[in-house]
């Protein structure tokens, strides 16, 4: 009689296939992968999308108005969360014997999670239309910001730096922002998740908020007092090249405001004042731009001790 | 236009020496009706007219009654269409088409040698169905042998006539025939007019076996019309001549021509198709010619070319005229048969190379035995690879893979586990043959616009209709079983009558039975077997079915007479069902074949050897492409040098004239002329005709001899005995396997003259004849070169030795006979024995019989390989298969089932069917008269129509001495085998011998003795088989019933494969995490769950059920006996309630362990949420029983001592069959047959566990499950062979299943094919999707404002939250709450369930 392909062998083969993930891997060399939709869904879950807020902040008092709370994300908790999501098709057993679906999970789920992890970088990239960053998801940190700023400046941004690579250091590294969004349409609470150990977070106005501005302005009973630190410069008459003094010089602009409308700057006057300071006469538009442009506002949060 | 059907003609030469010394040793006529005893010729006590004198079976070895005379014997093989019978709907005997009954034989003869003599042509008509009381002399005063038939000559008492005569063609006058002299003037035993068929009065061998049909489908040319030739051949003078025979055949009464009616059917079908196209507003795509082609293909298996069939259409696109062939003309030639009698008066044409017995050839063969040809073929191939038999497992695997290849299961065998299982089952099943199981009625929804009835969908019915249907089907089943029983009883009566007639009229004495006692047993005024059979017939009645002319399906029944018979009961139920269906006009009621009964196949022996030529006279393809009248060759195109000539066949001298009285005269004439373009012996006449045309560069004028030789080379088909050089002409070309038939074939010849011949006709549409109908003398492979006469095997005479199973009971079988010796192979589906077991009688008996060699094309491994490669052109195994294919392409392999072996085990033998009559004692024999009268009493239910006279008892002799074996098992060996050819020539097949003198044969895998059984190494192991048609009655029980329909008192058995209502009684969803089983009612509504809490079994009602806060089972399902839910679900739950925690733990473990073994391949299409979430198990109930056809067991006919069944039955007046069964069935009814339910190796088997139902309100005890933990003692156990044992025809056992409804449940008995039972998806899917599922949740944070659970949106479902003791609170999906909002603290912790219940679908 034949020896292979018998029923006993078959039955044993079926039974052993589901005995442990390694045996299953032998008969299922390329286990099924997640579909793109599922992959995105689980990646979002890993970024806490769909997690009720009250799970993250069990009591309102833990995030009072005008507060910021930094945190580490427990990746075990995230793994459990994703696992829970995938457990809907699982028939687990309380006994020591793993059920076939558990064995299948043991083989399939780690790969699926890995797949989903890789996809977490795509979520924000897709929102902002940027290239997909590569993420490690070893350590995820972040903060919750509850402030009126959040509501008033819906477009504020953030730069997050690890320890030793901030703009104050010789090399700068930006951590990948995984999630940066307000929690709700007109919410005052914002969540930030970054891939890596955050040391310093610069929360800033939106980059598009570049504007002309002055440093100081006061109106005391119609008396305007205004000044701006400008940079003196020299102009090479042959090449038109401009050399600026890196140090600013305070320039009083108090006279450049309209008397009847004291918040309106007479730009031509101001330009003349600036030009005169450097002895350059009339300014061209580029030079005015250099002198008048103000950057966005930045609030810098730094972790006090680097563990 | 007519269809020209190729007819295979074989010519056998018999010279004077052959006549003297050889032909006497041939096999002869098997039917010798002229020897039937009758008064006044036969006196009482000289023999009875019961038929044993009229049959001389081939295995008897008797000398032929009419040895072949000197001359040439022609035999033509009837085309396949005429040999295919069909069975009417009511199960009566198979009927055959009218066979051609007029044959025109034309002979062209020329003396030969160095030159050819003048052409002498002569023609005869063979009138196949002419009847005469005496043998007739022909025009040359030669008494021709004729076959005898069992008909009484009108006006005489002579109970036989001779059939067939030969008339010279010139004196043949069909108009002057006297109809009374022909077969249709006579009626058969059933009263219907007779007509000529391929089976005649003999059986399937009739038309193929010349000795039995010599005057019907054959012709003996004794040459007495040519005195010189006659003198030479009869006096052994040196002579040489050659002849060409052309044979035409037709059905004289054109009404019965096969093509009559085909044209009308095609027109009807086409017009219906046009109407349908118009109705559905689609374009008419087919032509009437296409439709004709498909109708002809379907009915006749003749393939026509639609392009050749002209038609015209009416303006409404219906058929105006259709020029399809009107009649069929059989036509064949055998050309250039050389009679080369040298000067040596001792020379023979037919002597074998065996010195001892020149009448008999011998053939060295290799043999293999199997249940099927495929198996045996694999075995012989394995044997070839490893003749010593030491090849071990690898070769066994090779054989297994070959089996897989042949059954089409090779692909992915190692990948898909189900393949191995299905291969095993397919191998096992192919060892059985199906027998009609009656009808089952189903309600179908016809496909709109569908032509194929097979695509109709069976529907799930409302309960009352399902019940009505069940009543109908149970009535139908009773009727079908009643009819089958009736046939069995009538056959028994016939066999008993044979015994009686031999004693009463034949003078045989039986020491155990007195004639008078037997007479009284058979027939007395009040009782007796005849009365019992007649009463059974009255009680059963007969139904006449109405069929659909298109699909041949049974669609209605006619009202039978009376009101009480089983037939009448079917009609009543049918009428009620029809009425009940009236409100549903789109549903139709149809009868389908019911589950068949199975009989084990007789063993198949496969023979391979040089001299074993497969019988393929009508080709191998099974279908035929006949030429049409317009396609006959009529011209020869000749291109020679720069000139071309056209030679019309009609210009050739010597073409015989065809009289206008000949049907299809034009075609016959054209074909007769065609021969002059094809036969080399006539080529010089064509050359002369061409020469007469003259013209420039006429090759025949230039070189007549050279042209003649060139034409012969182009024609081909010369005899090897001829002076002409054998060549590769058209004759050989059409035989090339690569030949593609095409119009106007061309043969270019280079020598002696370079001529290009085109075989064509005036319309340039000439086609070469089919090789089937165009034959010539040729040498035979494996035979000496001098042998040029055909050897055409038609029958196999076999003798088998069987060392049979020894029953264990005192008077037959004991209940445990099967289980004591055999065990179902855990690795297979059949029985195995243990090596040490001694279960046979230790003495082999010889069974012998003869069988007509199967006419199916012999199973071709190479064709199977080609198919496989076509299907899987990129399979890496293809090159290996090519090698195998090349190695076996040239082999001669013939296989044959040893028919008769099984029937002999039950002590009966097939006999020629003769009427019940006593021709010796006549009117004095009241018993015979009474039986004969009863047989013909009802025209609709004539006993002869149902073959009641086909078997005779084996009452005495060795076989009858304790060898009644309806449970066949044992070890078999082949004692002898010989082949009989179409002319009666024989060939003994030889192999090296076993020690006991039997032939060496390799048993197939399935018949191999088990490893280690040294005593039976040379034998084939026959595993236990029931030699009575049996089926497993394995059907669902409806889940519920009501009493609204008369006749329904309990759950009814679903008889069709698609149950009319759902058999699901309830559902169980296991939760292994919590170790609970959640129960649902049949409709999917939740009930509650059983779980283990603190070590005890605890019932909990469904979450949110405020009505049952105390978790009382009775509140949810009702007290035992008064269920509030499905009664069977309730019974099961009460059963579970009565167990303990250990039972539930074991059950949970079992369900868990079953999981990997159930993975239905069709599951993807039955995806539902509940399957995703858990694996719901259905509770279903089924009946399982073993029933024989007619509910009866075979009876032993033994009469070797007074204690034997036959004398005992007579002595005890057990004329009632069931009473007699107690005496004569060897207690077969006591034998227990274990049934194995479920199959772990088959992932398509859904069984988790089963319970055998007892009576009463607590019907359950142990739960059996194949995947139960080993050694479990808490009430969940693995089944053993003793768990479920059935006896034949006992009440079916009711079994409750826990099953995965997506897969079937398999029942394995070993003695029958594996049976599967499944629930159609439409009956479980909806409910499965409706199952409400509660997920227990603990803990969950709740907001101050209320609980909000993050739940996904599931289309078609709704969520709710159930807190303990509270009603469900609906929950919105996707209300995630991921947004930061205020006012939610403080939070609280909740426990409870989220429930997913079906709701409206969300788009």
pLDDT, tens only, B337-353:
999 888 777 789 999 88
pLDDT at B1401: 55
Of B400, B1070, B1155, the CB nearest to A5: B400
Q: Do A50 and B400 touch (CB under 8 A)?
A: no
The residues pairing with B669 across neighbouring beta strands, listed in sequence order, are none
Q: What is the pLDDT of residues B1199-1217, one digit of tens each?
A: 999 999 999 999 999 999 9
| Phi, psi (deg, nearest 5) at residue B551 | -100, -5
Give B-chain residues touching A193 at CB under 8 angstroms. none
More confident residue, B283 or B450: B283
- Reported as type and span, the H/E element at residue B1293 is strand B1293-1299
Q: What is the pLDDT of residues B287-316, one digit of tens each?
A: 999 999 999 998 899 999 998 899 999 998
pLDDT at B507: 87
User: What is d(CA B1063, CA B1059) in angstroms, rounded to the nearest whole number?
Assistant: 7
pLDDT at B597: 95
pLDDT at B455: 46
Give A-chain residues touching B420 at CB under 8 angstroms. 5, 7, 10
- Reported as type and span, the H/E element at residue B1143 is helix B1141-1154
DSSP calls for A183-222: SSTT-SEEEEEEEB---EEEEE--GGG-EE--SEEEEETT
Q: Do B1175 and A59 touch (CB under 8 A)?
A: no
pLDDT at B1254: 86
Whether B452 has a pLDDT exceeding 50, the answer reads no
- Reported as type and span, the H/E element at residue B910 is strand B908-910
Q: Are B731 and B723 in contact (CB under 8 A)?
A: no
Interval B521-535 mean pLDDT:
91
Q: What is the mean pLDDT of chain B?
A: 88
User: What is d(CA B807, CA B812) in angstroms, rounded to the nearest whole number?
Assistant: 6
Whether A307 has a pLDDT exceeding 60, the answer reads no
Q: Do B397 and A4 touch (CB under 8 A)?
A: yes
Asked if B393 has any chain A CB less than 8 Å from its own CB, the reply is yes
Work out the pLDDT band at B42, boundaries 50, 70, 90.
confident
pLDDT at B69: 94
Percent of chain B with pLDDT over 70: 95
Whether B643 has a pLDDT exceeding 80, the answer reads yes
Q: Which residue of B has its CA nearest to A52?
A: B1378
Interface of B with A in 1344-1363 (CB under 8 A): 1348, 1350
Asked if B1255 has any chain A CB less than 8 Å from its own CB, the reply is no
Token pair belonging to B1206 = 């036959």
Q: Do B1174 and A17 touch (CB under 8 A)?
A: no
pLDDT at B598: 95
Give B-chain residues touching A12 at CB under 8 angstroms. none
User: What is d(CA B249, CA A276) in angstroms, rounded to the nearest whole number?
Assistant: 129
Contacts of the segment B1276-1283: beta carbons below 8 A, 24+ positions apart: B1276/B1143, B1276/B1146, B1276/B1147, B1276/B1150, B1276/B1249, B1279/B1236, B1279/B1237, B1279/B1250, B1281/B819, B1281/B823, B1281/B824, B1281/B1234, B1281/B1236, B1282/B819, B1282/B1234, B1283/B1234, B1283/B1252
pLDDT at B387: 67
Q: What is the pLDDT of residues B1095-1104, one digit of tens each?
A: 999 999 998 8
| Phi, psi (deg, nearest 5) at residue A36 | -55, -40
Q: Which residue of A has its CA nearest to B397?
A: A2
| Phi, psi (deg, nearest 5) at residue A227 | -150, 160
Work out the pLDDT band at A14, boundaries 50, 70, 90.
confident
Helix or strand or coil: residue B580? helix
| d(CA A112, nearest CA chain B) in Å | 18
Work out the pLDDT band at B1163, boundaries 50, 70, 90.
low
User: What is d(CA B1375, CA A240) in angstroms, rounded to the nearest whole number?
Assistant: 64
Work out the pLDDT band at B209, boundaries 50, 70, 90.
very high
Q: Are B160 and B46 in contact (CB under 8 A)?
A: no
Q: What is the pLDDT of residues B1064-1079, one digit of tens each?
A: 999 999 887 778 899 9
Q: Would you tell me how many other CB atoms lie within 10 Å of the CB of residue B1172? A: 11
pLDDT at B1025: 94
Confidence check on the interface: ipTM exceeds 0.90, yes or no: no
Indicate the range of A1-15, A117-131, B704-718 predicted with least confidence: A1-15
Q: Do B420 and A59 touch (CB under 8 A)?
A: no
Asked if B906 has any chain A CB less than 8 Å from its own CB, the reply is no
Q: Do B1380 and A60 touch (CB under 8 A)?
A: no
Indicate the range of A5-9, A143-147, B8-12, B498-502 predicted with least confidence: A5-9
Of A14, A61, A184, the CB nearest to B417: A14
pLDDT at B449: 47
Q: Which residue of A has its CA nearest to B419?
A: A5
Give B-chain residues touching A4 at CB under 8 angstroms. 393, 397
Token pair belonging to B426 = 């397919």
Work out the pLDDT band at B1169, boundaries 50, 70, 90.
low
Indicate the range of B277-291, B880-894, B1141-1155, B1265-1279 predicted with least confidence: B880-894
Q: Do B1157 and A15 touch (CB under 8 A)?
A: yes
Work out the pLDDT band at A1, boundaries 50, 70, 90.
very low
Give B-chain residues touching A101 at CB under 8 angstroms. 1155
Q: Compute the count of residue pairs across chains A and B with CB atoms less than 8 Å apart.
A: 138
Whether B836 has a pLDDT exceeding 80, the answer reads no
- HEC string for A16-78: HHCCCHHHHHHHCCCCCCCCHHHHHHHHHHHCCCCCCHHHHCCCHHHCCCCEEEEEEECHHHH
- Candidates B393, B1333, B1346, B1378: best to mutate against A (most CBs of A within 10 A) is B1378
Q: Are B427 and B565 in contact (CB under 8 A)?
A: no
Indicate the range of A17-21, B818-822, B955-959 predicted with least confidence: A17-21
The residue with tokens 């509770």 is B1179
Q: What is the greatest pairwise CA distance in chain A?
A: 113
User: What is d(CA B1, CA B263) in angstroms, rounded to the nearest whole number?
Assistant: 12
Helix or strand or coil: residue B748? strand
Give A-chain residues touching B1156 at CB under 8 angstroms. 14-15, 17-18, 100
Helix or strand or coil: residue B1367? coil
Of A6, A58, A101, the CB nearest to B1387: A58
Q: Do B1157 and A184 touch (CB under 8 A)?
A: no
Q: What is the pLDDT of residues B1123-1160, one digit of tens each?
A: 999 999 999 999 999 999 999 999 998 998 888 888 77
Interval B394-403 mean pLDDT:
73
Q: Which residue of B has its CA nearest to A64?
A: B1382
Give B-chain residues touching A99 at CB under 8 angstroms. 1072, 1152, 1155
Work out the pLDDT band at A236, boundaries 50, 70, 90.
confident
Q: What is the pLDDT of residues B731-787, one digit of tens each?
A: 999 988 888 889 999 999 988 899 999 999 999 999 999 999 999 998 888 888 888
Work out the pLDDT band at B641, boundaries 50, 70, 90.
confident
pLDDT at A50: 87
- Reported as type and span, the H/E element at residue B590 is strand B588-593
pLDDT at A89: 60
Helix or strand or coil: residue B541? coil
Whether B553 has a pLDDT exceeding 70, the answer reads yes
pLDDT at B939: 84
Token pair belonging to B1380 = 């930061």
Work out the pLDDT band at B1403, boundaries 50, 70, 90.
very low
Q: Do A97 and B1381 touch (CB under 8 A)?
A: no
| Pairing outcome for strands B588-593 and B3-6 | unpaired
pLDDT at B454: 42
More confident residue, B882 or B1247: B1247
User: What is d(CA A60, CA A72) in angstroms, rounded to the nearest whole number?
Assistant: 19
Helices in B346-450 by DSSP H: which ranges?
373-385, 393-406, 417-429
| d(CA B1359, nearest CA chain A) in Å | 15
Displacement of CA A3 from its chain's centroid (Å) = 63
Closest of B83, B74, B72, B73 to residue B5, by C-alpha: B83
Q: What is the pLDDT of residues B58-70, one digit of tens each?
A: 888 888 988 999 9
- Candidates A99, A101, A145: best to mutate against B (most CBs of B within 10 A) is A99
The residues pairing with B1238 across neighbouring beta strands, listed in sequence order, are none
Token pair belonging to B181 = 């002299």
Helix or strand or coil: residue B266? helix
Helices in B301-392 by DSSP H: which ranges?
373-385
pLDDT at A113: 87
pLDDT at B949: 87
Give A-chain residues touching B1172 at CB under 8 angstroms. 88-89
Q: Which residue of A has its CA nearest to B1348?
A: A52
Percent of chain B with pLDDT over 90: 51
pLDDT at A112: 87
pLDDT at B115: 84
Q: Do B413 and A88 touch (CB under 8 A)?
A: no
Interval B698-707 mean pLDDT:
91
Q: Do B1385 and A60 touch (CB under 8 A)?
A: yes
Of B393, B1072, B1384, the CB nearest to A93: B1072
Give the gyration radius of chain B's Cα atoms: 37
Interval B241-257 mean pLDDT:
94
Interval A65-77 mean pLDDT:
92
Q: Do B1156 and A146 touch (CB under 8 A)?
A: no
Asked if B283 has any chain A CB less than 8 Å from its own CB, the reply is no
Interval B564-573 mean pLDDT:
94
Whether B617 has a pLDDT exceeding 70, the answer reads yes
- Reported as type and span, the H/E element at residue B362 is strand B360-364
User: What is d(CA B981, CA B794) in angstroms, rounded to the nearest whole number?
Assistant: 5
Q: Do A93 and B827 touch (CB under 8 A)?
A: no
| d(CA A301, nearest CA chain B) in Å | 22
What is the DSSP-derived secondary structure letter of residue B650? Answer: G
Interval B1300-1319 mean pLDDT:
91
Q: What is the pLDDT of residues B487-522, one digit of tens each?
A: 999 999 999 999 999 999 888 889 999 999 999 999
Q: Do B1008 and A1 touch (CB under 8 A)?
A: yes
User: What is d(CA B1066, CA A194) in angstroms, rounded to the nearest whole number?
Assistant: 52
Give the gyration radius of chain A's Cα atoms: 30
Q: Do A2 and B399 touch (CB under 8 A)?
A: yes
């Amino acid at each position: 009689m034949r020896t292979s392909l018998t029923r006993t062998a078959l039955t044993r083969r079926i039974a052993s296939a589901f005995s442990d993930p390694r045996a299953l891997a032998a008969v299922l060399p390329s286990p099924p992968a997640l579909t793109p939709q599922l992959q995105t869904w689980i990646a979002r879950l890993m970024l806490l999308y769909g997690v009720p807020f009250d799970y993250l902040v069990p009591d309102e008092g833990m995030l009072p108005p005008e507060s910021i709370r930094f945190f580490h994300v427990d990746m075990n908790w995230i793994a459990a969360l994703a696992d829970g999501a995938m457990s809907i098709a699982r028939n687990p057993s309380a006994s020591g014997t793993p059920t076939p679906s558990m064995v299948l999970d043991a083989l399939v789920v780690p790969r699926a999670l890995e797949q989903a992890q890789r996809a977490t970088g795509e979520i924000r990239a897709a929102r902002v239309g940027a290239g997909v960053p590569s993420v490690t998801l070893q350590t995820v940190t972040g903060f919750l910001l509850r402030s009126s700023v959040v509501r008033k400046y819906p477009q504020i941004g953030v730069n997050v730096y690890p320890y030793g690579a901030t703009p104050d250091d010789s090399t700068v590294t930006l951590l990948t922002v995984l999630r940066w969004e307000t929690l709700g349409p007109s919410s005052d609470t914002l969540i930030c998740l970054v891939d890596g150990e955050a040391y310093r977070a610069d929360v800033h106005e939106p980059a598009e908020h570049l504007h002309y501005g002055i440093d100081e302005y006061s109106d005391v009973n119609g008396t305007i007092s205004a000044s701006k630190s400008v940079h003196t410069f020299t102009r090479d008459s042959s090449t038109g090249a401009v050399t600026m003094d890196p140090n600013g010089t305070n320039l009083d602009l108090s006279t450049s405001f309209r008397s009847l409308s004291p918040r309106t700057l007479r730009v031509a006057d101001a330009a003349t004042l600036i030009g005169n300071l450097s002895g350059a006469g009339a300014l061209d538009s580029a030079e005015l731009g250099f002198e008048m442009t103000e950057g966005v506002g930045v609030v810098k949060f730094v972790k006090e001790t680097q563990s | 236009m007519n269809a020209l059907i190729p007819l295979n003609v074989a010519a056998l030469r018999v010279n004077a020496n052959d006549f003297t010394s050889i032909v006497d040793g041939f096999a002869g006529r098997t039917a010798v009706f002229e020897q039937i005893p009758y008064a006044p010729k036969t006196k009482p006590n000289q023999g009875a007219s019961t038929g044993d004198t009229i049959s001389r079976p081939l295995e008897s070895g008797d000398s032929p009654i009419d040895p072949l005379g000197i001359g040439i014997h022609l035999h033509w093989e009837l085309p396949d269409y005429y040999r295919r019978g069909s069975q009417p709907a009511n199960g009566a005997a198979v009927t055959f088409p009218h066979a051609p009954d007029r044959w025109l034989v034309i002979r062209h003869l020329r003396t030969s040698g160095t030159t050819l003599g003048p052409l002498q042509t002569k023609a005869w008509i063979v009138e196949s169905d002419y009847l005469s009381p005496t043998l007739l002399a022909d025009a040359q005063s030669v008494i021709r042998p004729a076959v005898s038939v069992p008909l009484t000559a009108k006006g005489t008492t002579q109970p036989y006539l001779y059939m067939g005569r030969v008339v010279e063609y010139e004196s043949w006058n069909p108009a002057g025939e006297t109809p009374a002299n022909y077969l249709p003037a006579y009626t058969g035993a059933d009263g219907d007019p007779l007509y000529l068929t391929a089976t005649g009065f003999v059986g399937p061998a009739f038309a193929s076996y010349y000795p039995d049909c010599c005057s019907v489908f054959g012709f003996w040319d004794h040459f007495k019309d040519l005195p010189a030739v006659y003198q030479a051949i009869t006096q052994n003078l040196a002579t040489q001549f050659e002849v060409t025979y052309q044979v035409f055949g037709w059905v004289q009464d054109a009404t019965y021509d096969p093509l009559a009616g085909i044209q009308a059917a095609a027109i009807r079908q086409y017009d219906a198709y046009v109407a349908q196209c118009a109705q559905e507003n689609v374009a008419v795509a087919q032509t009437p010619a296409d439709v004709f082609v498909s109708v002809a293909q379907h009915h006749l298996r003749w393939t026509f070319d639609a392009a050749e069939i002209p038609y015209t259409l009416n303006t409404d696109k219906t058929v105006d005229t259709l020029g399809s062939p009107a009649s069929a003309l059989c036509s064949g030639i055998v050309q250039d048969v050389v009679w080369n009698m040298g000067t040596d008066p001792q020379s023979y044409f037919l002597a074998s190379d065996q010195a001892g017995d020149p009448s008999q050839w011998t053939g060295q063969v290799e043999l293999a035995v199997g249940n099927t040809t495929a198996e045996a073929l694999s075995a012989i191939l394995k044997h070839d690879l490893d003749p010593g038999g030491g090849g071990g497992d690898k070769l066994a695997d090779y054989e297994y893979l070959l089996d897989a290849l042949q059954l089409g299961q090779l692909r992915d065998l190692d990948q898909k586990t189900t393949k191995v299982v299905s291969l095993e089952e397919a191998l096992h099943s192919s060892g059985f043959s199906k027998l009609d199981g009656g009808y089952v009625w189903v309600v179908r929804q016809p496909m709109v616009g569908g032509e194929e009835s097979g695509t109709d969908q069976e529907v799930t019915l409302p309960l009352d209709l399902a019940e009505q249907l069940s009543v109908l089907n149970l009535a139908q089943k009773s009727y079908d079983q009643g009819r089958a029983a009736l046939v069995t009883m009538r056959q028994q009566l016939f066999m008993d009558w044979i015994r009686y007639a031999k004693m009463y009229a034949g003078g045989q004495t039986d020491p155990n039975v007195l004639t008078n006692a037997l007479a009284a047993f058979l027939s007395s005024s009040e009782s007796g077997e005849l009365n019992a059979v007649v009463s059974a017939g009255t009680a059963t009645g007969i139904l006449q079915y109405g069929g659909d002319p298109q699909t041949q399906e049974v669609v209605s029944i006619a009202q039978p007479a009376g009101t009480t018979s089983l037939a009448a009961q079917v009609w009543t139920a049918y009428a009620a069902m029809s009425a009940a269906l009236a409100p549903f006009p789109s549903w139709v009621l149809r009868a389908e074949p019911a589950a068949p009964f199975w009989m084990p196949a007789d063993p198949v022996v496969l023979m391979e050897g040089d001299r074993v030529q497969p019988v393929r006279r009508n080709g191998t393809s099974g279908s035929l492409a006949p030429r049409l009248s317009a396609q006959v060759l009529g011209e020869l195109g000749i291109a020679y040098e720069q000139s071309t000539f056209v030679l019309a066949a009609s210009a050739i001298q010597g073409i015989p004239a065809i009289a206008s009285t000949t049907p299809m005269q034009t075609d016959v004439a054209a074909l007769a002329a065609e021969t002059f373009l094809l036969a080399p012996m006539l080529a010089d006449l064509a050359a002369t005709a061409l020469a007469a045309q003259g013209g420039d560069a006429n090759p025949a004028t230039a070189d007549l001899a050279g042209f003649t030789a060139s034409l012969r080379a182009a024609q081909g088909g010369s005899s090897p005995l001829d002076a002409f050089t054998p060549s590769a002409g058209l004759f050989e070309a059409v035989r090339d396997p690569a030949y593609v038939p095409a119009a106007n074939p061309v043969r270019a010849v280079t020598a002696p003259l370079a001529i290009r011949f085109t075989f064509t006709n005036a319309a340039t549409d000439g086609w070469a004849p089919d090789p089937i109908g165009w034959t010539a003398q040729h040498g035979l492979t494996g035979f000496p070169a001098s042998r040029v006469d055909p050897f055409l095997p038609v029958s196999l005479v076999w003798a088998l030795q069987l060392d049979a199973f020894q029953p264990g009971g005192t008077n037959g079988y004991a209940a445990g006979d099967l289980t004591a010796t055999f065990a179902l192979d855990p690795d297979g589906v059949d029985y195995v024995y243990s090596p040490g077991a001694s279960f046979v009688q230790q003495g082999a008996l010889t069974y012998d019989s003869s069988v007509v060699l199967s006419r199916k094309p012999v199973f071709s491994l190479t064709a199977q390989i080609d198919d496989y490669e076509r299907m899987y052109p990129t399979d890496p195994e293809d090159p290996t298969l090519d090698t195998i294919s090349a190695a076996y392409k040239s082999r001669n392999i013939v296989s044959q089932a040893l028919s008769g072996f099984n029937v002999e085990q039950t002590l009966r033998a097939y006999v020629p069917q003769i009427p019940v009559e006593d021709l010796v004692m006549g009117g004095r024999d009241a018993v015979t008269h009474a039986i004969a009268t009863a047989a013909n009493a009802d025209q609709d239910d004539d006993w002869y129509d149902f073959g009641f006279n086909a078997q005779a008892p084996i009452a005495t002799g060795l076989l009858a001495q304790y060898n009644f074996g309806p449970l066949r098992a044992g070890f078999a060996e082949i004692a002898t085998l010989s082949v009989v050819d179409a002319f009666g020539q024989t060939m003994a097949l030889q192999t090296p011998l076993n020690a006991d003198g039997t032939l060496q044969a390799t048993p197939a895998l399935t018949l191999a003795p088990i490893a280690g059984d040294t005593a039976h190494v040379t034998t084939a192991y026959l595993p236990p088989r029931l030699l009575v048609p049996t089926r497993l009655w394995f059907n669902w029980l409806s889940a519920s019933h009501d009493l609204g329909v008369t006749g329904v008192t309990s759950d009814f058995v679903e008889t069709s494969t698609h149950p009319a209502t759902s058999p699901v009684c309830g559902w169980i969803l296991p939760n292994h995490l919590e170790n609970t089983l959640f129960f649902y009612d049949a409709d999917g509504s939740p009930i509650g769950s059983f779980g283990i809490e603190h070590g005890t079994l605890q019932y909990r009602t469904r979450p949110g059920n405020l009505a049952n806060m105390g978790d009382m089972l009775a509140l949810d399902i009702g007290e035992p006996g008064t269920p509030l839910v499905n009664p069977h679900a309730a019974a099961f739950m009460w059963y579970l309630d009565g167990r303990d925690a250990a039972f539930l733990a074991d059950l949970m473990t079992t369900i868990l362990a079953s999981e990997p073994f159930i993975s239905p391949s069709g599951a993807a299409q039955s995806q539902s949420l509940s399957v995703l979430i858990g694996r719901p198990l259905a509770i279903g109930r089924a009946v399982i029983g073993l029933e024989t056809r007619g509910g009866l067991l075979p009876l032993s006919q033994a009469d070797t001592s007074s204690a034997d069944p036959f004398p005992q039955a007579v002595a005890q007046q057990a004329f009632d069959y069931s009473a007699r069964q107690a005496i004569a069935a060897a207690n077969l009814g006591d034998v227990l047959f274990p049934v194995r339910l479920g199959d772990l190796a088959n992932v398509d088997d859904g069984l988790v566990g089963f319970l055998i139902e007892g009576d009463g309100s607590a019907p359950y005890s142990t739960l059996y499950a194949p995947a139960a933990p080993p050694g479990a003692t808490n009430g969940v156990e693995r089944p053993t062979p003793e768990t479920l044992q059935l006896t034949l025809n006992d009440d079916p056992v009711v079994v409750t299943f826990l099953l995965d409804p997506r897969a079937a449940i398999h029942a394995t008995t070993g003695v029958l094919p594996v049976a599967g039972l499944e629930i159609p998806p439409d009956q479980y899917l909806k409910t499965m999707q409706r199952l409400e599922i509660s997920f227990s949740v603990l803990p969950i944070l709740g907001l101050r404002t209320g609980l909000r659970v993050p739940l996904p949106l599931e289309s078609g479902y709704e969520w709710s939250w159930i807190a303990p003791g509270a009603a469900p609170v609906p929950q919105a999906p996707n209300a995630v709450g991921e947004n930061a909002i205020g006012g939610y603290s403080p939070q609280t912790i909740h426990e409870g369930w989220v429930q997913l219940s079906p709701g409206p679908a969300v788009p």
